Structure 1
Amino acid sequence: MGLISLLWGIVAMAWMVIALIPLIGWANWLLIPFAAIGAVIGAIGVMFTRSEHNGRAKTGLLLNGIVIVVGIVRLSMGGGVL
Structure 2
Amino acid sequence: MLNLASILVGILSLAIVIPSQIPLLGWGNWFALPLIVVGIVLGQLSSSRGGRNFNLVVLLIVIVRLSLGGGIF
Number of equivalenced pairs: 72
C-alpha distance after superposition, 1:7-33 (max 9, x if no partner)? 111111121111111111011112122
Structure 2, gaps ≥5 residues long: none
In the superposition, the TM-score normalised over structure 2's length comes to 0.87
Structure with the greater relative contact order (CA < 8 A, sep ≥ 6): 1 or 2? 1
- Structure 1: segments with no counterpart, 5+ residues: 47-53
Q: RMSD over aligned Cα, in angstroms?
A: 1.2
Structure 2 residue aligned with 1:14? 15
> Larger C-alpha radius of gyration, 1 or 2?
1
Following superposition, the deviation at residue 4 of structure 1 comes to 0.5
Q: Is the 8 A contact 1:32 1:67 kept in 2?
A: no
The TM-score with structure 1 as length reference comes to 0.78
